[in-house]
Chain A
Amino acid sequence: GAVVSQHPSRVICKSGTSVKIECRSLDFQATTMFWYRQFPKKSLMLMATSNEGSKATYEQGVEKDKFLINHASLTLSTLTVTSAHPEDSSFYICSALLPGVYGYTFGSGTRLTVV
């Protein structure tokens, strides 16, 4: 149980276009989701926290207008990278706070390459 499905797993897009990444909780309701970015051979950097029905809380240094997060339902959170540039190329991972326990479950990640 407690699975988060993240899509797409890999995407290549042209510079200037937008890309949407989806995370769905399959068998539980995810009130809170976190979005992380991981650079090659680096740790996970928290980008933002999203709570269902409210605006996301972004970490310092993360551009809100570039990384749009929507958490419109208890089972779906999306991250849209707008006007992507090559420096946005990275591995993006979502994570859901599990209800009732002190744990999290992670999506399988999205490898974004901007050319």
Chain B
Amino acid sequence: AQSVTQLGSHVSVSEGALVLLRCNYSSSVPPYLFWYVQYPNQGLQLLLKYTSAATLVKGINGFEAEFKKSETSFHLTKPSAHMSDAAEYFCAVRTGNTPLVFGKGTRLSVIA
């Protein structure tokens, strides 16, 4: 069975600083990996996904993530944080036709 582990339930950065949200996955077969963002009382919005094409994936709102098989990681980064980036972020994994399996989420706070 596949799983994801998000390191750090809460990350706080200053506005303009680098954002790094960590995600490690476990899967016995090549996975598809996703990052989602959730604002309070809203559904999930897809930031980006890895589907075995390029290992560096660029998403919306300036986010990107790099798939590193040797490290079983799929960390999410953004060079410069904006106040509007404050939200909950979820890493998720899927193999084949299985439903998405989510990590526990990381709450990102951006300090002015």
CB within 8 Å of B: which residues of A? 6, 9-10, 34, 41-44, 46, 49, 91, 93, 95, 102-109, 111
Contacts and interface: CB of A to CB of B under 8 A. Distances in A.
A93 B43 contact: yes
Contacts of B111: none
Contacts, number: 47
B99 A46 contact: yes
B100 A34 contact: yes
- Return the 8 tightest CB-CB contacts between A and B, nearest first: A106-B43, A108-B43, A106-B44, A43-B104, A109-B43, A102-B51, A43-B102, A44-B102
8 contacts: A10-B41, A42-B105, A43-B90, A43-B105, A102-B49, A102-B94, A103-B46, A103-B49
Contact of B41 (A34, A41, A91, A107): A91
Name the residue in A6, A42, A43, A106 with the highest tally of chain B Cβ atoms < 10 Å from its Cβ.
Answer: A43
Contacts of A102: 32, 49, 51, 94
Contacts of A41: 107
Contacts of B36: 106
Contact of B100 (A6, A104, A108): A104
B100 to A, nearest CB: 6
Main secondary structure of the interface of B (DSSP, over half): strand
B70 interface: no
A42 B104 contact: yes
B28 interface: no
A106 B32 CA distance: 17
Contacts of A107: 43
Nearest to A4: B43
Interface in B19-56: 32, 34, 36, 41-46, 49, 51
Contacts of B49: 102-103
Contacts of B103: 43
Interface in B58-100: 90, 94, 99-100
A79 to B, nearest CB: 14
Nearest to B45: A106
Nearest to A6: B43
